[in-house]
Amino acid sequence: MALDIDFLRGWIGRTDSLADTATLAPLRALSATLDRQDPPPQAGDALPPLWHWLYFLPTARQSQHGADGHPLRGGFLPPVELPRRMWAGSRVEFHQPLRAGQELARNSRILDVRMKQGRTGPLVFVNLRHEIRAGGVLAVAEEQDIVYRDMPSAHEPAPAGAAALADAHWSRRLVPDALLLFRYSALTFNGHRIHYDRPYVTEVEGYAGLVVHGPLIATLLLDLLRRELPQARVKVFNFRAMRPLLDNAPFMVCGRQDDSHTVTLWAQDEEGNLAMQAAATLS
């Protein structure tokens, strides 16, 4: 597929602004989805790190979605004509806690659009930055990497997996059934069909099962840290998706405290392949 990267790079510098309120219902629902026994959230409670993803949700009209369930391309994000779109990773800085009930404002900017040739064809990377403020004060700054690629061929071999670390201090085994994926899709108003439409994901995109959301895996990693170190305050969190996890097998979220300020986190599939690598810096 011929891609006009100069045209796509014309989206660099585009901005978008949204307002939202940190309402209580999504907090209760995500706590239940993560199988936590938290007390009901109250106005003023601090949001756990990454739970800002419950807000500023995409709300394109039903007629404005493509075949994959994503909003049609060419609005704030560039119209990359490659069919597979994945959230490859993020770098998140937590400057101060967001609190339930707060009025929030998010300013977004496209930082870069670039293309490179991958093993199976062209890849387009879009890097964007979100800044979330409460009461005019910066609370969360996040850079996201989104990658677009072509569909795999019918005879394309699966990429070799890198081995996950073997020295976890903590771990949790999870079964990513369709209910978990549906609930998270509903909570984040994510229409991407790879997470809930089995005929689509297997017959069109060529996966062997429903795909576990990258943001859900990242949230589960920090949830593991929260379970093991409940008093810790996360200042910085970085993650990168390495290999998809599917609903046809359990997976593990794992962690290791390297020192008083650094935690290494990762997710691995049942065969021990690294699916996501991450690191948290504590205050």
Q: What one-letter code names the amino acid at 221?
A: L
Tally the domains of the chain: 1
Domain of 258, CATH number, reads: 3.10.129.10
What pLDDT, on a 0 to 100 scale, did the predictor assign at position 157?
A: 60
User: What does the alpha-carbon distance between residue 131 and residue 54 come to, in Å, rounded to a whole number?
Assistant: 15
- Over residues 25-69, the pLDDT tens digits come to 999 999 999 999 999 999 999 999 999 999 999 888 988 888 888
- Over residues 176-186, the pLDDT tens digits come to 999 999 999 99
What pLDDT, on a 0 to 100 scale, did the predictor assign at position 155?
A: 55
The position carrying tokens 């779109």 is 85
As a whole number, mean pLDDT of residues 133-139 equals 97
What pLDDT, on a 0 to 100 scale, did the predictor assign at position 159?
A: 65
**104: confidence class by pLDDT, cuts 50, 70, 90:** very high
- Over residues 138-161, the pLDDT tens digits come to 999 999 999 999 887 655 566 677
Question: What letters, b where the CB count within 10 A reaches 16 and e where it falls short, cover 190-215?
Answer: bbbbbbbbeebbeeebebebbbbbbb
The range of the structural domain enclosing residue 56 comes to: 5-282
**199: confidence class by pLDDT, cuts 50, 70, 90:** very high
| More confident position, 238 or 166 | 238
